[in-house]
Structure 1
Amino acid sequence: MPRFMGFVRMEENVGMPPQALFEAMDGYIGERAAKGIFVDGGGLFGTEDAVNFVVREGQVSRVDGPYAEAKEVVGGWSILEYPSLEEAVADQREFAELHARHWPEVTVVATLRQISDGPDAPTK
């Protein structure tokens, strides 16, 4: 079954999501976990403690957060399994709609990417 990774990106320091979103997400994730769709996932702390290793021209350098130039940061992630790409896309839209309904004042980008199991092309 194809596996996918979901990301939630938003501006940093926009505050905590409303309780209604947490409650809606608990139900959404619980339903998918019971069906075997939601494999793992969680929220991420801010970039103040982030560490990046940048490889440039064969040299490795460490860059510690916070990153003032960052417009959006990844705030959460998930690993998901769906029978088809179409079902994954439809469910990702539902995930985005939860955010629109419960936290409309914040711009959120919900990204879905298929996980590669090797050199093959993604499932269509």
Structure 2
Amino acid sequence: MPRYMSLIRVDENNAPEGGPSPELMQRMGVLLEEMTKAGVMLDTGGLLPTAEGTRVRWEGGKISVTDGPFTETKEVIGGYALLQCKDRAEAVEWTTRFLKVHEDHWTVTVELREIVAG
């Protein structure tokens, strides 16, 4: 079965103060448990804010290292999920369910990409 990387993008500047609500975390836990039992969820995790990150770039034959925060970036990867689904439609269905557990004041975009087999 194909595997998909779900890159969860959030706007760090407009994320709710204090992060996710307890109710959101409860709904998320229920969904993640269902996905795990269905054999779809292989791994998932959240990422610390960009203020605690580092970018390492290769350009023109040289390495540059930049510590966060990355002020020029509006939307950042806030988390990920590694899914194993029968096809893209199933991966989109699970991703849609993931997005719908969020309250209306959240703005979340998920980039869903199939992992190259091999």
What is the TM-score normalised by the length of structure 2? 0.90
Which of 22, 25, 48 lines up with 1:22 in the alignment? 25
Within 1, Cα distance between the matches of 2:35 and 2:105?
Answer: 26
In 2, Cα distance between the equivalents of 1:109 and 1:61?
A: 29
Equivalent-residue separation in structure 2 for 1:104 and 1:55 (angstroms): 39
Number of aligned positions between the proteins = 115
1:94 maps onto 2:80 in alignment: no
Structure 1 counterpart of 2:34: 31
Gaps of at least 5 residues in structure 1 are 119-124
Distance in 2, Cα, partners of 1:108 & 1:93: 11
Where do 1:65-104 residues align within 5 Å?
65-99=68-102, 103-104=103-104
Identity of aligned residues (%): 35
- Given the two structures, how large is their TM-score scaled by the length of structure 1? 0.86
Cα distance in 2 between the residues matched to 1:78 and 1:107: 18
1:75, CA displacement in angstroms? 0.9
RMSD: 1.2
Is residue 30 of structure 2 the alignment partner of residue 8 of structure 1?
no
Give 4+ residue runs of structure 1 displaced > 2 Å after superposition.
Answer: none
Which runs of 5 or more residues in structure 2 are unaligned? none
The structure 2 residue matched to 1:63, chosen from 53, 63, 66, is 66
Per the TM alignment, residue 106 of structure 1 is displaced from its structure 2 partner at its CA by: 2.1
Out of 109-118 and 70-79, give the one that drifted further. Answer: 109-118
Query: Is 1:42–2:6 an aligned residue pair?
Result: no
